[in-house]
Amino acid sequence: MTRKYFGTDGIRGTVGNPPITPDFVLKLGWAAGTVLARRASHCENKILIGKDTRSSGYIFESALEAGISAAGVDVRLLGPMPTPAIAYLTRTFRAQAGVVISASHNPYYDNGIKFFGADGRKLNDEIELEIEEMLDTPMQMVTADLLGKVRRIEDARGRYIEFCKSTVPHRFSLKGMRIVVDCANGACYHIAPDVFEELGAEVIAISHTPDGVNINKDCGSTHPQALQARVLEEKADLGIAFDGDADRVLMVDEHGELVDGDQLIFILALDRAARNVLEGGVVGTLMSNFGMELALKDRNVPFVRAKVGDRYVMEMLDKNQWYLGGEASGHIVCLDQTSTGDGIISALQVLAALQRQRLSLSAACAEMGKVPQTLINVRGANRRGYETKKEVVDVMAAAEQKLAGRGRVLLRPSGTEPLIRVMVEGEDKNLVQQLCEEIASVVEQAIA
């Protein structure tokens, strides 16, 4: 079945435009509550709701609360909480589901709704399609005596902070470290600084005063320049940047250099391999830097690529029964610690790895050389079958021959725009640029 509302990460859009409107979200709450209630078995008949710091979150929280209650399901309100915190609390409260009101790294005028199941993982396709079918039926409330009851969970923040700290060894301490933490004016503003401070670090928090519209604005993992400058100004050991809902993390080393998700995953993989706890290999995506693949291969660590998106990373991890994977954007999954991508927990895992290996962040990153990468977006409407055209096949084959196994070529249609992304990676920067331009020129003619 074709999805009508759900994308790869829930339902997302501009506030006030369908489907991100109060009336739709009200019915979504009712539809989800109805579907999940009839599937409930080992878990209690309740759904948790959390949100990030967007001003529109208050509207959609109320709409979801009303819709879920109308379906006869109890509601527990968490307030502003990171997306991975809602996944964790859904499990610990034995709830049917957790709902997150967030548009992640998008600006404040966007918002979205995503669901976690009782296991703390995103809902599977079958349940999402059931919810979509229910949305196309008339909304029918349960009788007044069966309406769901609503209350707020007052200690959600403290519960999650303790869980984060529990993912590192009991004797682990950050005492003596100076860390700058960029909260993106988002959902972790009242959590992340406390986690690192309670573990002993001297924390300089920035972008931790949300006002409803400054989430992700010139800050956080999508705009790390302020963090880079502050790390140098404070002479800090490192900096940590989250996105608006704190499921992504990037870092900045002591020299002010940005450290992306590929590099952080590599640090985690080497540490786990050294301790014989890696359990298989690493899952990246089609966009993961070829330098990580080469560096892992040189150390006999298996590496596979999934399609872009954390949903596909999770699918590949499950398929291989591995624990570690993620994306260059900073969405890192450590399934040996938690059920979904978690920025705070991923940062703690990196800090613990650095401490065990007795390395600075810059020294650990030096173990993996990122290769030059060139990306060109080619716009054109006629994208059907372009990849099988002889001229495209020939130019791709010629490029791969010139790279001689020390680089790669990728053609990927955009899922949201009429364009083809042409990417070439390799050790020779000039050759990479030349090959990418040659391929882009041929693709442009093929889809014109």
Per the DSSP assignment, residues forming a β-bridge with 306 are 285
Helices 290-298, 261-274: crossing angle, 10 deg rounding: 10
Three-state secondary structure of 342-399:
CHHHHHHHHHHHHHHHCCCHHHHHCCCCCCCEEEEEEECCCCCCHHHCHHHHHHHHHH
- 221 tagged catalytic: no
Cβ–Cβ under 8 Å, residues 246 and 343: yes
Q: What is the DSSP string of 9-68?
A: TBEEEETTSTTSSHHHHHHHHHHHHHHHHHH-SSSEEEEEEEE-S-TTHHHHHHHHHHHH
- Phi and psi at residue 327, in whole multiples of 5°? -125, 160
Q: Which of 102, 104, 329, 346 is catalytic?
A: 104
Q: How would you label 310-327 residue by residue, b for 16+ Cβ within 10 Å and e otherwise?
A: bbbbbebbeebebbbbbb
CA 62, CA 292: separation in Å to the nearest integer?
45
> Which of 326, 283, 315 lies closest to 301 in space, CA to CA?
283
Catalytic annotation, residues: 104
